[in-house]
Amino acid sequence: MRKKIVAGNWKMNNGLSETIELINDLKQNLSDSDVKVMIAPSYPFLKTAVDQVGDGSIEVISQNINDNKSGAYTGEVSIDMLNSIGVNTTLIGHSERRAYYNEDDALLLKKINLALESNMDIIFCFGEELKDRKSNSYFDIVKAQLENTVMKLEPNSWKNIVLAYEPVWAIGTGETASAEQAQEIHKFVRNCISEHFSSEIADNVPILYGGSVKPSNAVEIFNKKDVDGGLIGGAALNAHDFVEIIKANN
Ligand code: 13P
């Protein structure tokens, strides 16, 4: 059985007091469940967040990593630094990093390889833009994004990888992919992995959906066979909404 995961990507939101408050609210309202809950606050608050979640069920993860181990890279944060404060999972390939910081497939592959070598698990994000959806080329785009990156890994690496399908046109727009649209891509991705590696790897990798997930649409999306939870942006900033979305997995 694949693990159900709900991860909150806080992006560049929340200062110190909001970080502490939101984590406390989450801890008070999360009931026991089989869903793995993750949150990705900003770098300056990661250590506080790790301390604040304590031994509970929430994992604190990073929104990004640098593609070098250490050295003269002013303003950057390394995997070893994150590991040293108890952060052992990171997002890689978020569409905002691709769009605003020119992160291409070659750089993302470098980050993936370095993360895996350094005992850092990965949530790898991919997804097509609106123009790709409109021109019906979204299967090709998604396939290429995966072939240039995670499909180049050793089969053994897949135990440390979660995928997140985030169609760019659905991120922060209020326009969600329908449950059928999400399922269609998730199944397609699983088939690609099965052809490339094995049905066992394809069956075991969790694939999350991200893009305007809200309490009102989460149940329908999460009920789909190949959707194993969500990567949540805006709604993860509100404890009530985030908890409702987590419960939608039950
Ligand atoms: P929204 O939920 O705000 O659309 O953001 C999704 C996302 O980008 C999560 O990484």
User: pLDDT of 194-207, one tens digit each?
Assistant: 999 999 999 999 99
Look up the pTM and report it: 0.97
State the distance from the centre of ligand 1 to the C-alpha of 176, rounded, in angstroms: 10
pLDDT tens, residue by residue, 116-164: 999 999 999 999 999 999 999 999 999 999 999 999 999 999 999 999 9
What domain count does the chain have? 1
What pLDDT score was predicted for residue 201?
A: 97
As a whole number of angstroms, the distance between CA 53 and CA 188 comes to: 36
Ligand 1 atom, smallest distance to 174 CA:
4
Q: What pLDDT is recorded for position 189? A: 98
Q: How far is the CA of 55 from the centre of ligand 1 (A)?
A: 27
Domain enclosing residue 158, as ranges: 4-248
pLDDT of residue 3: 87
Q: Give the mean pLDDT of 73-89.
A: 98
Average of per-residue pLDDT across 158-175: 92
pLDDT in tens, 50-60: 999 998 789 99
**Residue to mutate, 171, 213, 217, ligand 1, most ligand atoms under 8 Å from C-beta:** 171
CATH number, domain at 199? Answer: 3.20.20.70
Instruction: Give me ligand 1 centre to Cα 239, in Å.
Output: 15
Q: Is the pLDDT of residue 250 over 80?
A: no
Catalytically active residues are 94, 166
Please tell me the total number of residues recorded for the chain in this structure: 250
The pLDDT value given to residue 42: 98
- Kindly tell me the sign of the dihedral angle through the C-alpha atoms of 225, 230, 234, 240: positive
Task: Point out the ligand 1 atom lying closest to the alpha carbon of residue 173.
Answer: 4
